[in-house]
Structure formats: structure tokens, C-alpha cells
């Protein structure tokens, strides 16, 4: 039995074994704390909506990076590497490292400012370039959004956050109608369209906003719809257009084509 304990002692005195134990213990502690944090998400979301969920996910991201840094330092010290002396000895190399990680620092600073300024939160619909998507994760370095049209998940560095727009839960559609239609006929037609569109599941409210454009062969009449669920925006637009076309068809009205006048001399 004595030999067994001596063998265990020799094994545990090995720096590589110590390092492995430190890493495993660190992972276990991180998992416990992470699960405790994530279990609070439901309660926080019920009180503070998606903003509370955003705080929880950001806190989890900070917790992860903190554990990585702390574990790395402890492992170095365990292997008799003086971290303080190593940092002090970097000298000019330290400045190079700072320059190398400046983009990462920008991401972290910008990520914190997104949270503090409530620029957007998890669950919001945003536009990045030509992509509209739902914010899935707001991390300390990157923001992940899921495209509404393709379902693809895109990760965006937080330093590029100026290029992201928060999309409203409204859609606007111009309905082109002929100049020959009397205004009374147009009003009745729009009333029928609004009644039909208002019955679509995801439409909270539909309004006629008035004439919007005087085109060469038509007048655009602007309609605005407020949605219940912004994530279903694309499908709702298709549903609205379908109802408009059905009403026009039932009333025998065609959408005007662009016309070209040709004069012969």
C-alpha cells in the first residue's frame, strides 16, 4: 500500500499531470457556473424580456474568457514559468502584441457598448448589408444573426456594428393603380384590401397612408402594416401581396404596365 501512495505521489508531482488536473478542474467549475448562469435565463427573460437574456449570454461569454485566461496563468506558474517576469521581459514585443490584438479589443469594447446603450438585443431583427436576420447571440467579440431568407447563421465582428441596422416591425407596400380609376372607386378598393389584409394572422394593424408617387402610367397608393412577429416579415409580405392581387382580380382591375408613347413624323 505504501508503494501505491508513493507511486501516486510521484505521478502527482509531475508538472504535466498537475497541469492536466488544473485544466480538468477548471472545466468542471466553469461548466457548473455556466449552467447555473444559464438556468437563470428563463426567470430573467420573464422579467426583462430579451434584454435580460442578452445580459446572461454576455455574462457567460465573459465568464468563459476569464476562465481561459486564469487557467492559462495558473498552468504557467505550475510549470515554474514566472508570468510577471515574462510580461515585464516582453518590452517592445509587448507593443507588437497590443497592435496584433487591437481588433479583438475593439470587438470587446464595442460589444460592451452595445449592451450598455441597448443598441439591439437578442431576438431583434437586424439588417447587415443585404442580409436581414434575427440576433441569436450577442457575445463579447462577435454577434451572430440567422438570415430570415436562407436560415444561414452569420457571425459579425462587433467592431463592424455600425453597419448593422435594427429593422422595424412594419412593412410598406405601394399599390400602383391607373389614373383612369375614380377616387371613389380607389377608396372602396383600398377599404376592401385593408379589411382582407387585417385578417392575416401576423398582421396587427393595416392602414392606408395616402397617394405616394405619381408615375408615368400609374399612381402609387401607400399601405402600411404593423406585424406581430417581425421574424415572419418575409412571409407576411408575400401574404399581403397575394391578398392584394386577389382583390384586384375579383374587381376586374389590372395593375398598369409602363407605357411608351411613339410619335411618327
Q: Does residue 38 belong to any structural domain of this protein?
A: yes
- Is the pLDDT assigned to residue 8 strictly greater than 60? no
Q: How far apart are CA 217 and CA 195, in angstroms?
A: 27
pLDDT computed for residue 4 by the predictor: 44
> Which of the given ranges, 83-87, 141-145, 236-240, has the highest pLDDT on average?
236-240
Out of 43, 61, 89, pick the residue that ends a domain.
89
CATH code for the domain in which residue 113 is found: 2.30.30.60
Q: How far apart are CA 145 and CA 27, in angstroms?
A: 28
Same domain, 84 and 157: no
Rounded to an integer, the average pLDDT of 194-206 is: 94
pLDDT computed for residue 79 by the predictor: 73
Q: What is the pLDDT of residues 118-163, one digit of tens each?
A: 678 888 889 988 888 998 887 777 888 999 888 899 888 887 877 7
Mean pLDDT over all residues of the chain?
78
- Is the pLDDT assigned to residue 33 strictly greater than 70? yes
Does 1 or 155 have the greater pLDDT score? 155
Q: Does residue 96 belong to any structural domain of this protein?
A: no
**Total of domains in the chain:** 3
Q: How far apart are CA 231 and CA 137, in angstroms?
A: 15
Chain length of the chain: 265
Q: How distant, in Å, are the alpha carbons of 127, 134, 149, 221, 253 from that of 229?
A: 16, 11, 15, 25, 31
Does 13 or 104 have the greater pLDDT score? 104
Same domain, 85 and 115: no
Cβ atoms of 233 and 171 closer than 8 Å: yes
Count how many Cα atoms sit within 13 Å of the Cα of residue 227 in the half-sphere of its side chain: 19
| Residues above pLDDT 90, as percent of the chain | 28
Question: pTM for the complete prediction?
Answer: 0.58
CATH code for the domain in which residue 209 is found: 3.30.70.100
- The closest alpha carbon to 254, from 218, 215, 216, 208, belongs to 218
Q: How distant, in Å, are the alpha carbons of 176, 189, 210, 253 from that of 186?
A: 11, 5, 11, 11
- Is the pLDDT assigned to residue 246 strictly greater than 90? yes
Strand partners, 208: 223
Same domain, 237 and 177: yes
pLDDT computed for residue 263 by the predictor: 46
Same domain, 205 and 235: yes
- Is the pLDDT assigned to residue 200 strictly greater than 60? yes
Q: How far apart are CA 98 and CA 104, in angstroms?
A: 10
Cβ atoms of 130 and 97 closer than 8 Å: no
Cβ atoms of 73 and 19 closer than 8 Å: no
Q: Does residue 100 belong to any structural domain of this protein?
A: no
Instruction: Read off the DSSP letter of residue 150.
Output: T
pLDDT computed for residue 34 by the predictor: 75
b/e string for 125-161 if b means 16 or more Cβ within 10 A?
Answer: bbebeebbbbbebbbbbbbbbbebeeeeebebebbeb
Q: Does residue 160 belong to any structural domain of this protein?
A: yes
Q: Does residue 69 belong to any structural domain of this protein?
A: yes
Q: Does residue 230 belong to any structural domain of this protein?
A: yes
Domain that holds residue 138: 105-166
Cβ atoms of 148 and 238 closer than 8 Å: no
pLDDT confidence band for 43 (50 / 70 / 90): low
Rounded to an integer, the average pLDDT of 4-15 is: 52
pLDDT confidence band for 100 (50 / 70 / 90): low
Helices (H), 79-124: 83-88, 92-100, 102-117
Rounded to an integer, the average pLDDT of 181-188 is: 90
Q: Residues 6 or more apart from 215 whose CB is under 8 A from it?
A: 176, 258
Out of 54, 89, 124, pick the residue that ends a domain.
89
Q: What is the pLDDT of residues 50-80, one digit of tens each?
A: 555 666 666 677 777 777 878 877 777 777 7
- Is the pLDDT assigned to residue 232 strictly greater than 70? yes
Does 44 or 171 have the greater pLDDT score? 171
Q: How far apart are CA 9 and CA 19, in angstroms?
A: 15
Amino acid at each position: 500500500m505504501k508503494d501505491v501512495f508513493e507511486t501516486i505521489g510521484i505521478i502527482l508531482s509531475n508538472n504535466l499531470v498537475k497541469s492536466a488536473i488544473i485544466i480538468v478542474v477548471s472545466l468542471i467549475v466553469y461548466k457548473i457556473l455556466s449552467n447555473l448562469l444559464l438556468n437563470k435565463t428563463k426567470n430573467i427573460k420573464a422579467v426583462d424580456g430579451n434584454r435580460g437574456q442578452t445580459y446572461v449570454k454576455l455574462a457567460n461569454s465573459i465568464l468563459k474568457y476569464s476562465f481561459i485566461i486564469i487557467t492559462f496563468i495558473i498552468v504557467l506558474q505550475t510549470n515554474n514559468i514566472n508570468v510577471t517576469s515574462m510580461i515585464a521581459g516582453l518590452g517592445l514585443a509587448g507593443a507588437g502584441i497590443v497592435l496584433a490584438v487591437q481588433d479583438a479589443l475593439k470587438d470587446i469594447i464595442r460589444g460592451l457598448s452595445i449592451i450598455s446603450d441597448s443598441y439591439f438585443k437578442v431576438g431583434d431583427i437586424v439588417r447587415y448589408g443585404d442580409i436581414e436576420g434575427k440576433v441569436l447571440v450577442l457575445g463579447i467579440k462577435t454577434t451572430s444573426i440567422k438570415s430570415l431568407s436562407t436560415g444561414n447563421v452569420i457571425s459579425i465582428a462587433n467592431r463592424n456594428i455600425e453597419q448593422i441596422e435594427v429593422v422595424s416591425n412594419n412593412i410598406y407596400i405601394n399599390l400602383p393603380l391607373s389614373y383612369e380609376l375614380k377616387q371613389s372607386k380607389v377608396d372602396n378598393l383600398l377599404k376592401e384590401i385593408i379589411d382582407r389584409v387585417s385578417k392575416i394572422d401576423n398582421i396587427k394593424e393595416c392602414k392606408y397612408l395616402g397617394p405616394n408617387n405619381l408615375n408615368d402610367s400609374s399612381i402609387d397608393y401607400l399601405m402600411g402594416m404593423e406585424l406581430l412577429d417581425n421574424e415572419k416579415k418575409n412571409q407576411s409580405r408575400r401574404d399581403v401581396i397575394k391578398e392584394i392581387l386577389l382583390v384586384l382580380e375579383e374587381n376586374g382591375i389590372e395593375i398598369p404596365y409602363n407605357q411608351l408613347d411613339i410619335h411618327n413624323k
